Structure 1
Amino acid sequence: MLTRDEIYSGLTQIFRELFDDESIALTDKTTAADVEGWDSFNNLNMIAAAEQAFGVKIGTREIESLTCVGDLVNLIEKKSK
């Protein structure tokens, strides 16, 4: 099982690479509005990278229900058990 810190560390690396911004610091409340370039296309790229990095599969309905990074962390945490 992954810890929240491990998930945040992995997601931060994904976000920094995807959005080419080493200053990104994710929190539970981070949303697409907080990250320059986080549009629907990059959202799918980020989800795909997260699925690969954490060995989880995230369904379309689950993706649509995500409103912030905290929701994604909770979902990955639940699926990694």
Structure 2
Amino acid sequence: MRNVERRPIQPGVDDAGINFLLTEARKDERRNRAEVMAARLERIATHVVRSQMNATAAAELLCAEAEKIRNEAREIC
């Protein structure tokens, strides 16, 4: 067995800085994810226009992209 001193952690004034940093990191991650999604949508839209896809083909392309995104999300967890 290890001799480990355990002290209870109590929230206090010092936590404000850490909470601020965590909030900013979360906001930054959300911004980055939004940029990635916007770029993906623009790439798909460009492909649809250049290929002169009909509505059905464009919808199928969007469904395939949605499935890719779901799979990526599952891999993160």
Q: TM over 0.5, yes or no?
A: no
Normalised by the size of structure 2, how large is the TM-score?
Answer: 0.36
- The TM-score with structure 1 as length reference comes to 0.35
Higher relative contact order (CA closer than 8 Å, sequence separation 6+): 1
By percentage of residues, which structure has more helix? 2
